[in-house]
Amino acid sequence: MTRDALAAHLRALIGPRWVKERTAERTAYDADALPGYRALPSLVVLPGSREEIVSVVRLLAAHGIPFVPRGAGTGLSGGSLANDTVVIGLNRLTRIHSIDAANHIAHVEPGVVNAVLQRAVAPFGLLYAPDPSSQAACTIGGNVAENAGGPHCLKYGVTLNHIAAVTVCLPNGELVQFGSAVSEPDGYDLCGLFIGSEGCFGIATDVWVRLLPVAPAVRTLLADFSAMTDAARAVSAIIATGIVPAALEMMDQATIRAVEASIYAAGYPTDAAAVLLAEVDGLEAGLDADVRTIERCCREAGARDVRIATTETERARLWQGRKKAFGALGRIAPHLVVQDAVVPRTRLPAVLDAIAAIGARHGVNVCNVFHAGDGNLHPNISYDADNADESARVHAAMSEIMQACIDAGGTITGEHGVGLDKLGYMDALFTEPSLAAMCAVREVFDPERRANPGKVVPIHACREWAGRAP
Amino acid sequence: MLADLADRIAHAHATRTPLRIRGGGSWLHAGRPCEGEPLDVSALSGVIDYEPGDLTLTAYAGTTLQELDRITGAERQWLALDPCAAPTATIGATVATASDGPLASTFGRVRDLVLGLECITGTGERVRAGGRVVKNVAGFDLVRLHTGAWGTLGVITEVTMRLRARPEQDDVFAICADDRTSLERRLAPLADLPIAPLALELLNAPLAASLGFEPRLCLLVRLGGNAERVAAQRRALDALGDVHEIALDRLHALRAADPTDHLVANITHEPSRFTDTWRHVSAFCDAHALWQPRVRGSIRRGLVRVSIPMPDEGAAHVGEWASFVRSIAPPGAHVTWEQLPMHAWPHVPCSVADRISTGLRRALDPAHILNRGLLGEPT
């Protein structure tokens, strides 16, 4: 089928306004938050309901046409890039169908923005725990696809731990439900399998998210250090006490200075080598004892100062600096590449040293702002992607950083997904049979591999899976 | 040993020989009848990697829960899982069966605690999923797929679990009520109390009696944290009635494996309907004249677990099994049967008969040799 004929069919299904054909319109969808990659979709379709998603997907299935589901496009791994493929944008599906305050469950459409959901459930004294830094823009559907995290995952877990059920439009247009909003079904954990499948298993049309009661009390501290490794040692010491902070975030000097020079200035000391932002929450009783323990851990690890936010405004300001750090870093250079490796917590000091050495060797400026409590590093480099030499050095450095993290027993992505960007590292992380098993699982959902083709698992790994290799 | 195991499974695949996977033997009486050559993985035992500072532990699947408890306890850490099983139950089987207990309301279910695993598929391929770090989204989540699959998609050989530091203080309190009619009244104040218990478990009179309590409805509250936090919560409990502190080790009795001749079911519904679910299950047992059913409930999770001695006269008490297996749960709730007499199983709907589940089994165990029939899957 020609593109024009397909567009005509799609217009008939969901209305002409929601099928984007002109280059200027499609260009808005030619990138996500991963710099250096552009891919122009052949068409962009914006269905407005579950039924319209199904009709669009069935039409594409009938003609064997691949598609890429897309939320807000805030992904950092190139997962929503669509090269000459149809993009199914889900931003019109923004309804919050219900909030069940008694059972702590909300039923939402996939295009609901994370922060909008937070605001909607707040009057009930509830919150949705995953809070990616992009939460002002990213959608619940995208969070499900990527198994998104955020600073507060240290205590509360990632998206996987907070989704009760999903209704999924499979790549053949069939609607199925995985999980349950009202009970704990037995059988295979297909809901768990679907979360983090990066759009390769179908499109979530409905999501039932679990909510948590807002903690009755919270304390936020900022400790500043004259060496990164001191801050990393403080992290280990805090974790070893048995306290599970709600968040434990670290920023290095380059990040601190970028934040302080921006409109997001949070009052971080610009002469510090690193700051550690720690938060504890829960019952009021015993919380100050936890704060004292954390303060002691920081001071014993060499903290120059430990500040405890005394007002909600002060607390919000400390967090704003962290949440907007990537935005602040984006001012330094035209492009910013952010990695997402995870290492065992005890390896943080060694890996941070290794990253600094790799950056120096390649002449690139690596900044670190990351979820220290989880060992989830976000080394990021500001650069000019149009400068071929600089781009090459950045990519070489990133590749070495990833290898250092894998060598330390870590993984290549903690919350951003594999997408396109990390496809090349999958072979270093998984054996051939492991990748082949993933391909085999994908083909159960999508035998023609039409949903988000070419992402997550390298094509070469998708060998015939019919028993052992001879 | 792993290579031998893989070869054995590959051979079974080639010869279409069904295998019955066996670890510590804890869950062999659970699920549907399942025949096959025994595949004993209990010798595959021992800790592979444990760095206390990382709060993660990697062990071979045959490592027992009691061994893990000993090793992590020495570092004042624990695997916060308390399934009903003998201490010799293995971690591999715990993951394969996704078995948990009262602590799951606070620390998560097995799916929330397993970070990575290695397994051997039904074709003899060694496959690794997830990793050894606490956050990981690299590749499709085969960890969740194998967790609770009862070995039907692969033989788990190694797991990495998330650990927790043991609470500085860990105390258990019991609050006993007179009879069932006061259930709502007793539980209502719970929602507003300033407590965040590690576990909150309701026991019926026969179960309470079997644990050495008065034979009355009994609420167990497990409080943990620093001394100040536990003390404040303990004071708050006074609003519920007479509070008695009990020794932590009495909780272990609650973890005892269900006798193999019991009917065992887990019934889940919305937490707000917990008392309805509880009443329904209790009334069901009364109506069927089932002797001394042991009923317990994880209130915040909406879960009621019932363990009933098999009626002496068998089906005479039970009536039609088809109706029995369904009507133990109130409308809208879900029942997962763990133990039933052999002839009752055909009346329990299969939960892996859908197209995707069937496809996954064909993909990972094409000859259908692993624990064949255990989940009632179509052949």
* pLDDT per residue as tens digits for the range B16-44: 999 999 999 999 999 999 989 999 999 99
User: Which residues does residue A179 pair with via DSSP β-bridges, in sequence order?
Assistant: A165
Given a cut of 50, whether residue A467 has pLDDT beyond it is no
Strand (E) or helix (H) holding A191: helix A190-194
Mean pLDDT throughout A255-269? 92
CATH topology of domain A333-407: Alpha-Beta Plaits (3.30.70)
CATH topology of domain A96-213: 3.30.465
Helices (H) and strands (E) in chain B, counts: 14, 17
Q: What is the maximum span of chain A, computed from C-alpha positions, in angstroms?
A: 69
CA–CA dist B349, B325 (Å, integer): 9
The predicted pLDDT at position B152 comes to 98
Looking at the partner chain, which of B54, B126, B229 has a beta carbon nearest the beta carbon of A345? Answer: B54
Given a cut of 50, whether residue B145 has pLDDT beyond it is yes
Q: What's the whole-number average pLDDT of chain A?
A: 94
Mean pLDDT throughout B241-246? 90
Query: B188-222: buried (b, 16+ CB within 10 Å) or exposed (e) per residue?
Result: eebeeeebbbbbbbbbbbbbbbbbebeebbbbbbb
CB of B124 less than 8 A from some CB of A? yes
* Sheet order of strands, A86-89 included: A19-20, A43-45, A86-89, A67-70
Q: Does the beta-carbon distance from B139 to A239 stay under 8 Å? A: no
Mean pLDDT throughout A431-435? 95
- Write the secondary structure of A444-467 as one string of H (helix), E (strand) and C (coil): HHCCCCCECCCCCCCHHHCCCCCC
Mean pLDDT throughout B217-237? 95
Which of B324, B370, B330 lies closest to B348, judged by CA?
B324
The predicted pLDDT at position B185 comes to 77
CA–CA dist A38, A22 (Å, integer): 17
- 3-state class (DSSP) for residue B221: strand
The predicted pLDDT at position A469 comes to 39
The predicted pLDDT at position A327 comes to 84
CA–CA dist A212, A197 (Å, integer): 25
Tell me the CA distances in angstroms from A259 to A239, A277, A330, B352, one per residue in order: 27, 14, 10, 52
A160 vs B contacts (CB less than 8 Å): 111-112, 141, 144
- How sure is the predictor about B303, in pLDDT bands with cuts at 50, 70 and 90? very high
The predicted pLDDT at position B192 comes to 86
Q: What is the CATH number of domain A217-325?
A: 3.30.70.2190
Q: Does the beta-carbon distance from B271 to A103 stay under 8 Å? A: yes
- How sure is the predictor about B180, in pLDDT bands with cuts at 50, 70 and 90? low
- Fill in the amino acid letter for A415: E
CA–CA dist A122, A65 (Å, integer): 42
Distance of CA B329 to the CA centre of its chain: 18
Condensed to tens digits (0 to 9), the pLDDT of residues B337-368 reads 999 998 899 999 999 999 999 999 999 999 99
DSSP string spanning A272-338?
-SEEEEEEEEE-STTHHHHHHHHHHHHHHTT-SEEEE--SHHHHHHHHHHHHTHHHHHTTTSSEEEE
* Sheet order of strands, A163-169 included: A96-100, A105-108, A203-210, A163-169, A175-179
The predicted pLDDT at position B379 comes to 73
* Residues A275 and A186 sit within 8 Å (Cβ to Cβ): no
Looking at the partner chain, which of B112, B136, B231 has a beta carbon nearest the beta carbon of A161? Answer: B112
The predicted pLDDT at position A25 comes to 96
Mean pLDDT throughout A44-65? 98
Q: In angstroms, what separates the C-alpha of B212 from chain A's closest C-alpha?
A: 31
A343 vs B contacts (CB less than 8 Å): 133
Mutate: best of A186, A342, A348, partner B, most B CBs <10 A = A186
CA–CA dist A131, B189 (Å, integer): 31
Given a cut of 50, whether residue A468 has pLDDT beyond it is no
Domains of chain B from N-terminus onward: 2-165 (3.30.465.10), 169-252 (3.30.70.3450), 262-343 (3.30.70)
* Residues A205 and A168 sit within 8 Å (Cβ to Cβ): yes
Helices (H) and strands (E) in chain A, counts: 16, 18
Mean pLDDT throughout B32-59? 95
- How sure is the predictor about B179, in pLDDT bands with cuts at 50, 70 and 90? low
* Residues A207 and A108 sit within 8 Å (Cβ to Cβ): yes
CB of B116 less than 8 A from some CB of A? no
- 3-state class (DSSP) for residue A416: coil
Domain boundaries, chain A: 3-89, 96-213, 217-325, 333-407
Q: In angstroms, what separates the C-alpha of B72 from chain A's closest C-alpha?
A: 13
CA–CA dist A448, A357 (Å, integer): 44
Q: What's the whole-number average pLDDT of chain B?
A: 92
A333-407 and A217-325 share a CATH fold: yes
B126 vs A contacts (CB less than 8 Å): 431, 433
Residue A145: both structure tokens together: 């696809």
Looking up tokens 């606070």 gives B106
Given a cut of 70, whether residue A132 has pLDDT beyond it is yes
CA–CA dist A263, A330 (Å, integer): 12
Q: Which residues contact B257 (CB under 8 A, 6 or more apart)?
A: B26, B84, B85, B86, B89
Residues 117-146 of A with CB under 8 A from B: 146
DSSP-assigned letter for residue B213: S
CB of A237 less than 8 A from some CB of B? no
Residue B33: both structure tokens together: 């009848």
CB of A157 less than 8 A from some CB of B? yes
CB of A75 less than 8 A from some CB of B? no
The alpha carbon torsion through A392, A398, A401, A402 (nearest 10 deg) reads -120
CA–CA dist B139, A417 (Å, integer): 8
Mutate: best of A162, A201, A294, A411, partner B, most B CBs <10 A = A411
CATH topology of domain A3-89: 3.30.43
Query: B98-124: buried (b, 16+ CB within 10 Å) or exposed (e) per residue?
Result: bbbbbbbbbbbbbbbbbbbbbbbbbbb
Residue B298: both structure tokens together: 């994880």
Q: In angstroms, what separates the C-alpha of B122 from chain A's closest C-alpha?
A: 8
Tell me the CA distances in angstroms from A18 to A14, A25, A43, A49, one per residue in order: 7, 11, 10, 12
Mean pLDDT throughout B305-323? 75
Mutate: best of B16, B140, B170, partner A, most A CBs <10 A = B140
User: Which residues does residue A163 pair with via DSSP β-bridges, in sequence order?
Assistant: A209
Condensed to tens digits (0 to 9), the pLDDT of residues A330-360 reads 888 888 888 999 999 999 999 999 999 999 9
- Fill in the amino acid letter for B217: L
